[in-house]
Structures are given as structure tokens and as C-alpha cells.
Homo-oligomer: A and B are copies of this chain.
Amino acid sequence: MFGLIVKMRSQPGKRDELIALLLRSTDAMPGCLNYVVARDLADLDAIWISEVWDGEASHKASLSLPEVQATIAEARPLIAGFDSSVRTEPVGGVGIS
């Protein structure tokens, strides 16, 4: 399995709008086993995305899906930047479908 833990920063006040976009096309991503979008409770513009994929190839392929491409284009003006992006190897747990 391949994982990502990303801390994204929205433009001020745009966090919920950005989150709604991020959640829009998550159903249509082959090989995506887990994808959680969360608000940081202490940092008003910060969003955490925790992802588990069946392999890195599925994650890369998702970036080319038309739905995902459209979301990226719409989301870009709402994103102030990325504080961190960590590549992981998920091992197990609860909720990995």
C-alpha cells in the first residue's frame, strides 16, 4: 500500500469551500482505499488529507482522471499552499476498505 498525509492551507476564509471540492470526486478513484479530509482544530485555514492507495501507481493515475483534473483546476485559486506532504507505507488498521 501507498499513503500520503498532506497538510494543505486554504486562502483565508476559504477552507470549507475548498473541502467541499476535495470531497466531490472521491467516489470515483480506483485503488483508493481510504481518503479522509479533516479540518485542523487549531489552525483555521489548515486542512489535513490522509490517503491510502493500493499502490503508488493508482495514486498517480488518479491525478489524470477527468473529474480529478476538473477539481484541481477549480481548487487551485482557493489553495494558499502546502505546509507538508509525507509519503507513507500504510501497514494496517481500521477502515482500509
Chain A: residues with CB nearer than 8 A to chain B? 3, 5, 19, 23, 26-27, 29, 32-42, 48, 50, 52, 86-97
Contact = CB atoms under 8 A, between A and B. Distances in A.
B38 A89 contact: yes
Give the number of times this chain occurs in the complex, counting copies.
Answer: 2
Given A5-B48, A19-B91, A92-B23, A36 B34 contact: yes
Query: Which of A36, A37, A50 has the largest count of B CB atoms less than 10 A from its CB?
Result: A36
A4 to B, nearest CB: 10
Given A5-B38, A38-B91, A42-B87, 16 more contacts: A3-B36, A3-B38, A5-B48, A19-B91, A26-B93, A34-B93, A36-B92, A36-B93, A36-B96, A37-B92, A38-B89, A39-B88, A41-B87, A41-B88, A41-B89, A94-B97
